[in-house]
Amino acid sequence: MKTMKGPAIFLAQFGGDEPPFNSLKSVSEWAAGHGYKGIQLPSWDGNLIDLAKAADSKTYCDELIGTCREAGVEITDLSTHLQGQLVAVHPAYDEAFDGFAAPEVRGNPKARQEWAVDQMMMAAKASANMGFKSHVSFPGALAFPYLYPWPQRPAGLIETAFDELAKRWRPILDAFDEADCDVGYEIHPGEDIFDGTTFEMFLERLDNHPRCQINYDPSHFLLQQLDYLDFIDIYHERICAFHVKDAEFNPTGRQGVYSGYAPWVERAARFRSLGDGQVDFPAIFSKLAQYDYDSWAVIEWECALKHPEQGAAEGAPFIEAHIIQVTDKAFDDFADGGTDEAANRRMLGI
């Protein structure tokens, strides 16, 4: 049995131009000061990493790793959530997602998509240079506007969308295979892959590509009322990353799962800081330990109420308390009678 690593923190929600979040050294010291042992780097944050340089130079990658270790943390892996999102964008979202891209490709969907693919290819090379075995990203969305359609969808629309999604991702996954690194997709409403069924649709079209993996985040499953524990039983062999994020679902006579037009604080379904929501983390950590998950437990802080600094300060001890140090012996070994095969046969009367 194996013990997972952690606690670690995803820095996407904390990055900025003010100290300590404006340099890798200072944010690493900040994270270590809160008790974190790892940081997950958003690869689009130029204050923390130059992705193109990381793809081209192992020496530069070694310097990044050394800066973090000197501060007391490890880099767990890289995130390309924003770039992965742009691999597949439905035209309805063109303007909204343009801000994720480099200025020179905004307003040009074809150029933006090519830029996103290039970013993913660089992330694969950077991951190889850093020796990472996992990577986290979004898959993007072509079909999501038709999730709950009126009028009804034309026959074949979803199948065509997933065919195209797989076609765009296959060469990226091949590049990550060359880098010996898995891609953990965050299964998330707003993406075409938002539950187990859609993940299977994607995986089937990729011929069960070995690098097509899952970044497990129970908060997104609780908000859509999916059994997030059974999900681990079904897909544990594909889980390569773990975002520790809490959420709550409190339906009323006025709203339920589809309450997204309301502000976050007023929604029936909303994200919460660790320990403030309804996710059964003891059961999740037990399930992952049962299936020998040995990668990182990474907090992704999102909350409609609590300040991020408080959420970060509370997150490390919360994760630390839930990581199960797996046992190397059975609890009833003290009663072992030391029998052999002959004794076993005698006990069975054979």
pLDDT tens digits, one per residue of 234-258: 999 999 999 999 999 999 999 999 8
CA distance 164 to 166: 5
CA distance 299 to 276: 14
Report the candidate in 40, 33, 35, 46 with the shortest Cα–Cα distance to residue 9.
40
- Residue 307 — φ and ψ, nearest 5°? -65, 140
CA distance 1 to 278: 28
pLDDT tens digits, one per residue of 16-63: 999 999 999 999 999 999 999 999 999 999 999 999 999 999 999 999
pLDDT top residue among 222 and 328:
222
pLDDT tens digits, one per residue of 175-219: 999 999 999 999 999 999 999 999 999 999 999 999 999 999 999
Q: Characterize 333-346 residue by residue with b for buried, 16 or more Cβ atoms within 10 angstroms of its Cβ, and e for exposed.
A: eeeeeeeeeeeeee
| The amino acid at 286 | S
Average pLDDT for 275-299: 98
3-state helix, strand, coil in the chain (%, to 5): 45, 15, 40
pLDDT tens digits, one per residue of 255-269: 999 888 999 999 999
Whether the pTM exceeds 0.85: the reply is: yes
Average pLDDT for 142-167: 96
Q: What percent of the chain has pLDDT over 70?
A: 98
| CA-to-CA dists, residue 106 to 1, 16, 100, 113, 114, angstroms | 48, 22, 9, 10, 12
CA distance 44 to 46: 6
CA distance 54 to 339: 57
pLDDT tens digits, one per residue of 218-235: 999 999 999 999 999 999
Residue 332, pLDDT above cutoff 70? no
Average pLDDT for 270-278: 97
Q: What is the mean pLDDT of the chain?
A: 96
In CATH, 5-348 is 3.20.20.150:
yes
Q: β-strands 246-249, 269-272: how paired?
A: antiparallel
Report the candidate in 313, 304, 321, 291 with the shortest Cα–Cα distance to residue 231.
291
Report the candidate in 270, 243, 273 with the shortest Cα–Cα distance to residue 79.
243
Residue 335, pLDDT above cutoff 70? no
pLDDT value of position 340: 84
Structural domain spans, the chain: 5-348
DSSP 8-state code for residue 318: H
